A and B are shown apart, each in its own frame.
Chain A
Amino acid sequence: MLDRSASDVASKDEATRRVRFRGAGFVPASSRFGGWIALALVIAIWQAAGSAGLVNALFLPTPSAIARAIYQLAISGALWQHLSASLLRIGVGWVLGTVAGVAVGFAIGLSRLARSVGITFISALFPIPKIALLPLLILWLGIGEEPKIATIALGVFFSTAISVYSGVDAVPRNLIRMAQSFNVPFATIVRKVIWPGALPAILAGFRITASVALLLVVSAEMIGAQYGIGAFVLQAGNLMQTDQLLAGVVILSVFGLAVGKVIGWLETRLLHWR
């Protein structure tokens, strides 16, 4: 039992004061609905300002006008025509770039020769804005879909290769040594240790390459395409149809959000162990 002398306990006559709490902050927690409420608020203010005539509709149409434009695009079939053209280019370009990027990234991560050669080329070519290569790719591949898909594939390839070999490099060496200590064959180490160990970096790379693909498809379609969201946005801008232009922008934003959700879902499923 603790032996407390009277002097250990503050006298009732003596004034006491609390120790000031100093541990607050630096733990930002996001509220579940805060973002949606803020978004709704901005849209409401934007709508009110437009309806009240405070903003010229030619320069900034109201959200309701943009929604109407999207609806009209949808019922006329134009939305699907443009969207499907963009989705095809993004899909094929992203898959080609990703497959090549994963293969090259793993080669660089696992082979001394591939690393020496690959990193030199990637360092030299990665900084080039890939859209600058579109005219050259048109010369090489013609004016059809190929140069646009190739531009997207190139953009995706470099970012994927970098994220893959960075991911391979980040796999803890002790896990590889552990597998080697059990005489696990090279292919099994790659499949069972390096692949899952590099997966967080690879999926993080997918987020980046999805944005790169979206950026490049819009740019490529603005340079030379009849159909596609990029072409649609450019045409709308040229005709001063700002409601149509912003409808295209909203569709791009929704597409980007949807891709982000898919990657988030993949992360939840594949990286549940984290």
Chain B
Amino acid sequence: MDLIASHITHRFGDLAVLDDVSFTVGAGEVVAIVGPSGCGKSTLLSILGGLLQPTSGAPELRGAPPADSLNPLTFVFQDFALLPWATVEENVEFPLLHTQLSAAQRRALVEDALRRTGLTDFRQTYPKQLSGGMRQRVGISRALAVKPAILLMDEPLSALDSQTRELLMEDFVRLLADGGMGAVYVTHNLEEAARLADRIVVLSRRPGRIREVVTVPMTRAERGEAAAREKLLALQNQIWSLIRNEAIDAEREVQHA
């Protein structure tokens, strides 16, 4: 199943946020979206996931999702969005409650998702008892439970410390390794984009337009090797050179707002 951003334009009142953004996320492909602060990255993701109605243009799907997918487009949120009154297990089961699945089927899916994210021993724990990294693991586990075709990740690591970010990045690489699941990964961190994405969509400052789409010229497995470091760094520098001046302008704009 492909996800297509088709001429998406969005305004919040008088404020133009996105201007004619079009790109395609192919099946199993990971596309990162980067750009200066306030360029509309998260707005674009909300539109792609059907949580926000664009002013014009539309997100479209091409092809059928995997037969076992219960929610083809599934978000992983920056702030985790966990139900504080529910245990880890209940949080992961939450999106399955309204489905036609039997209790046994739901239990099996929850079990599998918890195992894949290393949360099996924390099933009865409440979110407030967990660290930020573990909370995001619950968010990822909940997303995996519905067997998504495409994960929509809105700066999923930005609320975490650098060590936890590194550990979760390794998890993402592992989860996306087999190409069975695609992702749109919104981030302001160019290193994350370079390590995870097949292609990187670079947006201009507000209103966000596509400045460039950069293809990462190596597989994710290769990126873990020492020899790839220089290439990845060069790629990050290339993207940074595209957005640096606009990032400075955007920051000044925010300060004056």
Contact = CB atoms under 8 A, between A and B. Distances in A.
Nearest to A188: B98
B49 interface: yes
B122 interface: no
Interface residues of A, number: 20
Interface string A190-216: 001100110000000000000000000
Interface in B71-93: 71, 73-75, 77, 79, 81, 83-86
Shortest 3 CB-CB distances between A and B: which pairs? A182-B95, A178-B81, A273-B85
Contacts of B77: 174, 178
A161 to B, nearest CB: 23
A185 B94 CA distance: 12
Interface of B: 49-51, 71, 73-75, 77, 79, 81, 83-86, 94-95, 97-98, 126, 128, 146
Nearest to A174: B81
B233 to A, nearest CB: 34
Contacts of A172: 81
A261 interface: no
Q: In terms of DSSP, what is the predominant structure of the interface of chain A?
A: helix
Contacts of A185: 98
A167 B84 CA distance: 15
Contact of A177 (B51, B71, B73, B84): B51
A226 interface: no
Contacts of B74: 181-182
Contacts, number: 50
A184 interface: yes
Could you say which of A179, A181, A197, A273 has the most chain B C-beta atoms within 10 Å of its C-beta?
Answer: A181
B79 A174 contact: yes
B217 to A, nearest CB: 33
Interface in A131-158: none
Contacts of B84: 273-274
A192 B74 CA distance: 19
Contacts of A193: 83
Contacts of A180: 51
A181 B47 CA distance: 11
Contacts of A178: 75, 77, 81
A183 interface: yes
Contact of B94 (A174, A192, A271, A274): A192
